[in-house]
């Protein structure tokens, strides 16, 4: 008879910013409360961040190392939860690593939980949560500009789709991407056309890390704050990541529940 040993691996990009750690701890707590019987491990995909953390004595595994350790320890069923925001390059790389481990002779059965924005239900829930956490003092004629990460992967279109959903509720909410489109220049032009005087700048990333502190709210001339300030739009930065909000974390946890629920079908096959 086969002994079943289930495990959870949470996979994030990683961050060195202390406030980001509390966001990750929030996810960790929620996952452990939801699945008290299942051991929970972490991996960061960013080699640079892992290296810098290691210099300060904090050891975080890569996905490959974390999976190898769990394989070695005899885990039979593993749910890997992506803490990414969209199913972009990071997520697809994660899936490729997982598939490689499945092929190994002592391989376990692995399922991968989807990133935050992966279904139309997610879109509705994320849009509602983003609107819920806009500061109360913001007035309707003021803009709210979310900064997503973005990239060259086709999933980048999800950010524009999210903006569409948000604007159905509130036409002065925008979503741009720091590494891709919609760009801050695109958004700036609309704000100027609408004669908007104030914009709330909020990261749409799991943690308010490097991009939020530097590219969104930093004092460099290329930051979104500086770009808007230069054309007379006052900026108010709200430096909190999505993982700091329970209603956002619930979405990742629900994806993890789905990943764990699919274990049973594997057991039937075995």
- What residues are annotated to the active site? 149
Please, are residues 176 and 184 in contact by the beta-carbon 8 Å criterion? Answer: yes
Token duo for residue 198: 């104030």
205, 240 in Cβ contact below 8 A? no
Sign of CA dihedral 38, 61, 206, 111: negative
Best CA proximity match to 158, nearest among 202, 126, 199, 111: 126
Tokens standing for residue 12: 């994030």
3-state secondary structure of 111: strand
- Name which of 155, 77, 70, 173 is nearest 118 in CA terms: 155
Q: Is 18 exposed, middle or buried (0-12, 13-18, 19+ CB in 10 A)?
A: exposed
SS3 142: coil
């Amino acid at each position: 008879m086969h002994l079943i040993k289930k495990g959870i691996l949470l996979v994030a990009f990683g961050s060195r910013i202390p406030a980001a750690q509390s966001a990750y701890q929030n996810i960790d707590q929620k996952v452990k409360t939801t699945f008290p019987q299942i051991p929970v491990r972490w991996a960061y995909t960013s080699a640079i961040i892992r290296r810098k953390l290691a210099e300060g004595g904090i050891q975080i595994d890569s996905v490959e190392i974390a999976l190898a350790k769990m394989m070695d320890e005899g885990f039979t069923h593993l749910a890997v939860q992506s803490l990414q925001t969209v199913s972009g390059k990071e997520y697809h790389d994660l899936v490729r690593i997982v598939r490689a481990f499945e092929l190994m002779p002592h391989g376990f059965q692995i399922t991968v939980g989807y990133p935050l924005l992966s279904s139309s239900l997610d879109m509705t829930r994320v849009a509602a949560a983003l609107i819920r956490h806009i500061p109360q003092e913001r007035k309707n004629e003021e803009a709210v500009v979310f900064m997503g990460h973005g990239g060259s992967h086709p999933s980048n279109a999800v950010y524009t789709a999210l903006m569409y959903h948000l604007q159905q509720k509130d036409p002065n909410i925008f979503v741009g991407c720091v590494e891709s489109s919609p760009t801050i220049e695109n958004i700036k032009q609309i704000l100027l056309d609408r004669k908007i005087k104030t914009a709330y700048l909020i990261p749409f990333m799991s943690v308010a890390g490097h991009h939020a502190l530097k590219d969104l709210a930093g004092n460099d001339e290329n930051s979104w704050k500086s770009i808007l300030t230069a054309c007379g739009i006052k900026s108010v930065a709200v430096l909190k990541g999505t993982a700091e909000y329970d209603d956002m974390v619930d979405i990742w946890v629900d994806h993890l529940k789905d990943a764990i629920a699919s274990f049973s079908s594997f057991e039937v096959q075995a």
